Chain A
């Protein structure tokens, strides 16, 4: 193979269009380096000069969560998407599109601030006395607990889980799998206790936790292999227990 085609869904809300670019094959290329190549000479497949493609990027080593997009319809990070893997089976076209469950800004870039708002709602932090002098360490954490929580803590808010989830939509208030997983992270931390009940109540209020259809898409697309489908039923049970406790108190 000497060339391949990037077929890209471009444009702004309600003004989206497809544009194709033909690029020389390079066995070390990834989707990001291909998009960078277009910047230097933004001419589409029809030979028409166009604007460089817009996308979001950061670390390019799959730890910042910025470069999420749909590649051949699957949500993932573009930096680890190698061109040679996508052209292996004789296919010469790779399709890039922006996420659909978030506000489109332009081309492949969407605004994911909704995910950060969700972190605010669920108090995704450890309440502490701040940066005053600390003479003592926090509560001890066993190596086993650390090993189980650390993976949850590598969530980079990339949005792949929400994008893949059939229950997440613009209309529904469901915070998505990532936020629920964060509830588990903070509620399992020995120092996360003070706000534990509140987090569960928030999740109960949320339209979605009960609505999880167990499609298992989220766990399949998570680039960090976070055990999302393990966390969702676990937190749902905890939330139900909390509701029962609250009911008894109210009664």
Chain B
């Protein structure tokens, strides 16, 4: 076996899972990350990881988990990867347990579970309310072990700028710059795994870390990577509003008994999910509207529903203090339950100056997660061409995409606590598929002419000079404010076609003005202004993908809510949106959704009961990556 060189871009949960698996398989891994990987955005995940291992003795199973994930995603997710992810869950949990991850425990020392949104089962394992942080640390520690053994080389404070593509269009490496001194360099490899996370910063104020610009995916898209389902962006129902960001108040607060309410107003009528018009609770008394509207799921309805209902209540003037906010009440929770979400309550207290154990929190929905992302392949295990295709690989051969930056697993809406599972699972899959891809190659990177790398490097050198020399009047951070404002208004919870058309025009106008920026900093020493200006170009292209996809999709599905088209329309829109780059704006095409395991049916969270769902056509030869 020849040496196999792989680059992993991004050191969150997905990137670390891939790095670990690749190192185990004997690959030489170069791990590129904007920050110390231990600070990646995965640390922000609070609530937990879904694993249907049935330790709570509820007759749960990975099949039910897959069923709920497919339904929760409003049938937009391709079903085979969802099924396999859920099946791998138990083994992934056991693996993380072996890594010493600090899961909460039951009295007998087993892992404890809580119930999360969109399910009636307790299948969410958790570490207090910093589950993402704890899972990330556990994988970071395993990767550090491989680093100490010389099997992994880290390039922290480095940023991916472009792929180096050979004459056949295969990824053979990357161009990156060192954030400390803007020095450009090339890394060579036969496979590149992209694990660059979300894009909240396009909306500026989101629950994401400030590094989640979506720029890496934007750059890849501009190099020919197909971008799928861009218009599906999750709004988390509960966050606290800040000037610098929206701070997540985890779903786990509701999982542990937190309740959402506003003061009722019996003089107002609201339409319930069954179509009936009913009064908005009793005047001047707390009205637990989610519990009334969705008795089966209550405060734990899927996120898209929770966010829409909170917005609807606020738009009716019922928000707390007459503002765009509702109460999230943790005051009635017993102390042991409060303890399980302690770090969330503490953060709220630090910023709001009020103790949420005594005073109900005030929250509002916020941009949280991108279901869309890089299009990736997924040959199912019983597909005849399974062996000649590669899972998690983009349409650019040799370039894989995993974690939040891919588009699989969540369809039109992600269920809470499924992201951490999807990140680790897709990382492990890439860890198996990338070496298999490399072994299938006739030529390896050392026989690729150096001109391939020189050309790529030259393009970035040219770009760097051009950007540092810009002589205009526009400020990049103000342009960002303008972009985010129009995106938050028109491409989040509620969308309408007229506004989306305006949004596309506005983004194009901002793109025009971007040509006339000038940087307040033109040096090379840790020039963050330059770095952001470079990212912003790619962010604009992703914003166009989101807006154009949303404009064309005339239906209501999952997070994509368009009151003009108030119903899901499977006949016309049960299909994946595929955007391809064009300098004028995205070219949009569509692809059939793979629904081989479950026929589309209506989502109903008002009347749902615990039934034992089944899936069809489950293959017998599934090989999990763990």
Q: Which residues of A does B touch, CB under 8 Å? A: 12, 26, 28-30, 32-33, 36, 39-42, 49-52, 54, 56-66, 79-80, 82, 105-107, 109, 111-113, 116, 119-120, 123-138, 140-143, 146, 149-150, 153-154, 156-157, 186, 189, 191-192
Most buried by B among A49, A119, A189: A119
**A131 engages B350 (CB within 8 Å):** no
Which listed residue, A29, A39, A80, A157, touches B36 by the CB 8 Å rule?
Answer: A157
* Interface pairs (14), CB distance under 8 Å: A30-B243, A40-B475, A41-B475, A52-B528, A52-B529, A59-B43, A59-B44, A106-B525, A107-B526, A113-B36, A116-B144, A124-B144, A133-B91, A134-B626
B3 CB, min distance to chain A CBs, angstroms? 20
Q: A106-B525, A124-B141 are in contact. Are A153 and B35 (CB under 8 A)?
A: no
Q: Which residues of B does A touch, CB under 8 Å? A: 17, 20-21, 24, 35-36, 38-41, 43-44, 91, 94-95, 97-100, 102-111, 127-128, 130, 133-134, 137-138, 141-142, 144-145, 147-148, 156-157, 180, 209-211, 242-245, 247-248, 343, 347, 350-351, 353, 428, 431, 475, 477-478, 481, 520-521, 523, 525-526, 528-529, 624-626
**A126 engages B141 (CB within 8 Å):** yes
Q: A40-B475, A63-B130 are in contact. Are A143 and B109 (CB under 8 A)?
A: yes
Q: Which residue on B lies nearest to A82, using beta carbons?
A: B351
Which listed residue, B43, B157, B242, B626, touches A131 by the CB 8 Å rule?
Answer: B626
Bound-state Cα–Cα, A21 to B108, Å: 57
**A142 engages B347 (CB within 8 Å):** no
**B477 engages A39 (CB within 8 Å):** yes
Q: Which residue on A lies nearest to B523, using beta carbons?
A: A51
Question: Could you say which residues of chain B place their CB within 8 Å of the CB of A133?
Answer: 91, 624, 626
Question: Could you say which residues of chain A place their CB within 8 Å of the CB of B180?
Answer: 105, 111
Q: A12-B525, A156-B39 are in contact. List 5 more A-B contacts (CB 8 A).
A: A33-B243, A116-B144, A138-B94, A146-B104, A191-B98
Bound-state Cα–Cα, A130 to B431, Å: 13
**A36 engages B477 (CB within 8 Å):** yes
Bound-state Cα–Cα, A32 to B244, Å: 7
B23 CB, min distance to chain A CBs, angstroms? 9
Which listed residue, A36, A56, A62, A113, touches B244 by the CB 8 Å rule?
Answer: A36
**A60 engages B209 (CB within 8 Å):** yes
Bound-state Cα–Cα, A33 to B475, Å: 17
B523 CB, min distance to chain A CBs, angstroms? 7
Question: Could you say which residues of chain A place their CB within 8 Å of the CB of B141?
Answer: 119, 124-126
**A65 engages B39 (CB within 8 Å):** yes
Q: Which residue on A lies nearest to B521, using beta carbons?
A: A51
**A60 engages B100 (CB within 8 Å):** no
Which listed residue, B44, B106, B211, touches A63 by the CB 8 Å rule?
Answer: B44
Bound-state Cα–Cα, A12 to B523, Å: 12
**A136 engages B94 (CB within 8 Å):** yes
B618 CB, min distance to chain A CBs, angstroms? 19
Which listed residue, B110, B142, B148, touches A137 by the CB 8 Å rule?
Answer: B110
B171 CB, min distance to chain A CBs, angstroms? 24
Which listed residue, B97, B245, B351, touches A80 by the CB 8 Å rule?
Answer: B351
B391 CB, min distance to chain A CBs, angstroms? 16
